[in-house]
A and B are shown apart, each in its own frame.
Chain A
Amino acid sequence: MSAALPFHRRPGNRLAFRYALAVIITIIFVFPVYWLFIISFKTPDEIFAFPPVWYPKSLQLANYKVLFKDGDAATVGNSLILASVSTFFAMILGTIAAYSLVRFKTGGENLAVWIISQRMMPPVAIVFPLFLVYVWLGWVDTYVGLIVLYTAFSLPYVIWMMRGYIEDIPLELEESALVDGCTRGQVLWKVVLPMARSGLFATAVFTFVFAWNDFLFALVLTRTEVTTYTVQVTHYFGGQSNFWAKIAAMSVLGTIPVFFTVAVMQRYLVRGISMGAVKG
């Protein structure tokens, strides 16, 4: 019977095709990451060898050691501080603002739209005027400067997202808490935050990643003190030669925190916790 089916329709073959396709697509997507990762462990000779060294004989940690010895790795720490602190503030301020927009209709119909429109602004359009303001404030090349900027730049996104999540919370839950003795602040803390928890984490991840990956603001507004890893990587592109080993090692260091952030948060991102709140 199976002989009657064309070759590609036979059940076994069909599955094989699917797997083959999946493997090919995976290789296409994963290879650049693999290549970056593997370069960071190569010696200079291996990097420029032809034909290419597909996998090194031994994993050299020399490239990483140099980064740590010269202090370049500290720029990852800078990025971590800037991204975490700005995410923290953006989440607090943004959630409170979103709650106010939803429950008290603050600013009427249009304020929320105006807020998200601020996020559409191309960063390059504001970065140079901002530079002049920062020079005047003395905020160039400081943590405060970038934290304030990242917080402000993430706020519209946080407000917009949290507004959606908060709107989905049944009003009766909050009213019940108010009757049961909570203040508005306690309602926010004990009802709104737990109810919006998965949304809260998802938004925080994206906010964190935005700040983590920022290049333009960090390039213009920092010099030597709070250089971020994204800016640091560009220092290895030289006039005469490019330090591929350092570029690769630095990029790997920059990828790890994001990788773990997403991996840890993933279970919150997918978990629906609002089941059973009301009839259903």
Chain B
Amino acid sequence: MSDLKITGLHKHYGAFHAVKGIDLEVPSGEFTVLVGPSGCGKSTLLRTIAGLEEASSGTIEIGGEDVTWARPRDRNIAMVFQNYALYPYLNVKDNVAFGLRSRKVPEAEVEKRVSRAAEMLGIGHLLTRFPRELSGGQRQRVAIGRAIVRDAILYLFDEPLSNLDAQLRDDMRVEIKRLHQELGRTMVYVTHDQIEAMTLADRIVLLRDGLIEQQGSPLDLFERPKTRFVAGFLGSPKMNFIPATTTETGVALNDGTRLDMPGRNGLKAGQAVVLGLRPQYIAMAGQSLAKGHARVPVTIELVQPTGSRVQATMPLGGASIIAELAAHDVSRPGERTEIDIDMTRAVIIDPQSEQVI
């Protein structure tokens, strides 16, 4: 059974077409992340699910019930906002209890649920404090507490971590993932951060210009992107794109380097394409055991150590590519060496349609 079903959803703001016909189904208990660049419509989509924006056309069903025209309060949802949205005149406990009291939950039950949520989030000792006395991370915990204390069908998160600094963001990400595992509730989470999307999601829905570009499990999108946009959006450092031409057995780069692609026999030779290589699927010559490598000589241009790995920039086939190598593989720019490219992981893209072939 699906807890959320969206059919043919459009949203216009005057002349601006923010959501351009979205169909989406979110199964019970799944953690779905809506991700995409600024202005792709992900926040609008979430706010329309919440009923804070009115759909221009299409339908939204929550828990099997059509709520397209229902008020937010009648949708049985809980939501965590980017700026926490805590009431400054209420203490933590009253903030967390706000939704329960609004829905006339008996006070004994309120007590019970608030203390359980507070315990889960480690904010039990803060219950009598006011929001202004809390740190950013604590405020975000309270905001999450206010959502999970509710017995909702659907839990919505609107970029909840974007106001936190990097360290805190990592901690809270773990926290949210753990909460989802413990509660097993259906969650829809909006972010522009592809790392958040990859780490949290059971399923990623990647949006672009008001449409779903691709959806699937994080690894599915990472390993089998359908378009150049998906290939470039997920992964850090980003996928390398190199102009190339197809051959019978693979591709040829503009400098004449021929790279064979094992298992890709049906290619039509002589077609202009873009070759996509993930930095993670490039290694120093002879260091990877996987089959299907193409070995090419390169000259290192730039070295960026990250501690555990090193990101090396080098020219290849007229483009500049980044390879993520083992920490001690390269040490200085100007080094001449050979790399192995895992061509079984490479994608080729039609430059006109931007679709992966």
Contacts and interface: CB of A to CB of B under 8 A. Distances in A.
B19 interface: no
A69 B73 CA distance: 60
Nearest to A182: B102
Nearest to B98: A180
20 contacts: A172-B81, A172-B82, A175-B50, A175-B72, A175-B81, A176-B81, A180-B99, A180-B103, A181-B99, A191-B87, A194-B87, A194-B89, A195-B88, A197-B89, A276-B86, A276-B132, A276-B133, A276-B139, A277-B85, A279-B83
A178 interface: yes
B205 to A, nearest CB: 21
Contact of A178 (B72, B83, B87): B72
B102 A278 contact: no
Contacts of A273: 88-89
Interface in A171-220: 172-173, 175-183, 186, 190-191, 194-195, 197
Contact of B73 (A170, A181, A195): A181
Given A179-B78, A180-B78, A278 B87 contact: no
A137 interface: no
Name the residue in A175, A177, A179 with the highest tally of chain B Cβ atoms < 10 Å from its Cβ.
A179
Chain B, interface size category, equals 20 to 34
A242 interface: no
B156 to A, nearest CB: 8
Contacts of A182: 73, 102
Nearest to B133: A276
Contacts of A49: none
A181 B85 contact: no
Interface string A250-276: 000000000000000000000001111
A175 B52 contact: yes
B233 interface: no
Interface string A146-183: 00000000000000000000000010110111111111
Contacts of B102: 177, 180-182, 186, 190
Given A172-B82, A276-B130, A277-B131, A179 B87 contact: no
Q: Which 4 pairs from chain A and chain B are nearest by CB?
A: A276-B132, A180-B99, A181-B102, A176-B85
B208 interface: no
B336 interface: no
A92 to B, nearest CB: 20
Given A179-B78, A279-B163, 5 more contacts: A175-B85, A177-B102, A178-B73, A276-B132, A277-B88
Given A170-B83, A177-B98, A279-B163, A183 B88 contact: no
A254 B292 CA distance: 96
B351 to A, nearest CB: 43
B88 A181 contact: no
Chain A, interface size category, equals 20 to 34
Contacts of B51: 178-179
A191 B95 CA distance: 11
Interface of A: 170, 172-173, 175-183, 186, 190-191, 194-195, 197, 273-279
B157 interface: no
A170 B89 contact: no
Contacts of A195: 87-89
B146 A180 contact: yes
Contacts of B78: 179-180
Name the residue in A273, A274, A275, A279 with the highest tally of chain B Cβ atoms < 10 Å from its Cβ.
A279
Nearest to B164: A279
Nearest to A275: B132
B136 A279 contact: yes
Contact of A170 (B77, B85, B146): B85
Given A177-B98, A181-B73, A276 B131 contact: yes
Contact of B72 (A170, A179, A274, A277): A179
Given A175-B52, A279-B136, A181 B103 contact: yes
A179 B88 contact: no
A170 B82 CA distance: 12
B52 A179 contact: yes
A89 B88 CA distance: 27
Name the residue in B84, B134, B136 with the highest tally of chain A Cβ atoms < 10 Å from its Cβ.
B84
A274 B73 contact: no
A173 B98 CA distance: 12
A276 B78 CA distance: 22
Contacts of A276: 86, 88, 130-134, 139
Interface in B181-226: none
B85 A172 contact: yes
A279 B84 contact: yes
A252 B118 CA distance: 56
A251 B77 CA distance: 59
B12 interface: no
B52 A278 contact: no
A175 to B, nearest CB: 5
Contacts of A197: 89
A180 B81 CA distance: 12
A51 B343 CA distance: 111
B198 to A, nearest CB: 25
B177 interface: no
Contacts of B79: 175-176, 179
Contacts of B134: 276
B113 interface: no
